[in-house]
Amino acid sequence: MSAEPRIVWQDDHLAVVDKPAGLIVHPAPGNPGPSLVEALGDLPGGGDDPQRPGIVHRLDKDTSGLLIVARSPEAHRALSAMIAAREVSRSYTALVDGCPSSRTGKIDAPLGRDHRSPELVVVGGRRPRPAVTHFEVAERLPREALLDVRLETGRTHQIRAHLLAIGSPIVGDPQYGGGTAGRYGLDRQFLHSSRLAFEHPVGGAELAFESDLPADLARALEAARVD
C-alpha cells in the first residue's frame, strides 16, 4: 500500500489533504481501492454519492499533492460550485521532456475520450469538453524542463493530455508519451499538486497552501539537473 495521506489543515467544513502517489481518490468500477476516502475514515462529508463522500475534485492515482475535501454538506455544495466557476486556484509542478517553445503559454483545447483507447483523453476525441491549462517554465534542464502549471478547468487527465499535445509530455508517464517508467528512478509520472488557493466556502477567509515535492520527485529532479 502507498503512504498514508497527510491532513494539512482542517476545520468543521473542509480539510486540505496531501495525497501520496499510488492512492486513488475514491473507489470506482474496476478500481476498488485502497482509496483516499477509505484512508480518511469519517472525516469527509457531503455529496450524494456514498462512494465519494466529500470529494469535490480529484487527482490521478499516481499524481501526488494537495486536494480539498468537504466535511459538511454546505461546504460540499459551495466548493463544487466554486470549482465549476473556476474560483479555486490549482497549481502543479511537472517535469516534461524537452522544453516548450515559449516561457509561458495557455493551452485552450477541448478534450474528449480517445476513440481507440477510451481510457485516455485527447484533444478533440469523443464528446470533447472545454479545457484550459496555463504553464510557465520554472527551470530549463539539460534534457527536460520544470513547469509550473495552473488549471483553469479540471478535466480528466487534463494536464497530461495537454502537455503531450504541445510536444512536452510529462516524464515517467507512459500513457501520455512520457516514456517508460524508470527514468531517474521514477515509477510514476512527475506531476505534483503543489499549490491551492481559495476563499473559505463558509467564512470567506482567504486560504492558501503549498506542498513540497515528495522524496521520489525531489530525487528525480536532482538527477535531471546533472544529466
User: Digits of tens for pLDDT over the chain (227 positions)?
Assistant: 458 999 999 999 999 999 999 999 988 766 667 899 999 998 988 888 888 899 999 999 999 999 999 999 999 999 999 999 999 999 999 999 999 999 999 999 999 999 999 999 999 999 999 999 999 999 999 999 999 999 999 999 999 999 999 999 999 999 998 776 678 999 999 999 999 999 999 989 999 999 999 999 999 999 999 97
Task: In whole angstroms, give the CA distance from residue 58 to residue 101.
Answer: 30
140: left (phi over 0), alpha (psi -120 to 50) or beta: beta
**Positive or negative, the Cα torsion across 84, 85, 91, 97?**
positive
CA-closest candidate to residue 190, choices 152, 159, 167, 165: 159
Task: In whole angstroms, give the CA distance from residue 2 to residue 205.
Answer: 33
What residues does CATH 3.30.2350.10 cover in the chain?
1-85, 88-197+204-227
What pLDDT is stored for residue 1 in this prediction? 42
The 8-class DSSP code of residue 106 comes to E
Task: Could you please state the CATH topology (level 3) that the domain comprising 1-85 is classified under.
Answer: Pseudouridine synthase (3.30.2350)
> How is residue 121 written as a grid cell?
483523453
What pLDDT is stored for residue 180 in this prediction? 64
pTM value?
0.94
What is the homologous superfamily of the domain 88-197+204-227 according to CATH? Pseudouridine synthase (3.30.2350.10)
> Could you give the residue numbers annotated as active site?
60
- Is the previous residue joined to 27 through a cis bond, with omega within 30 degrees of 0? no
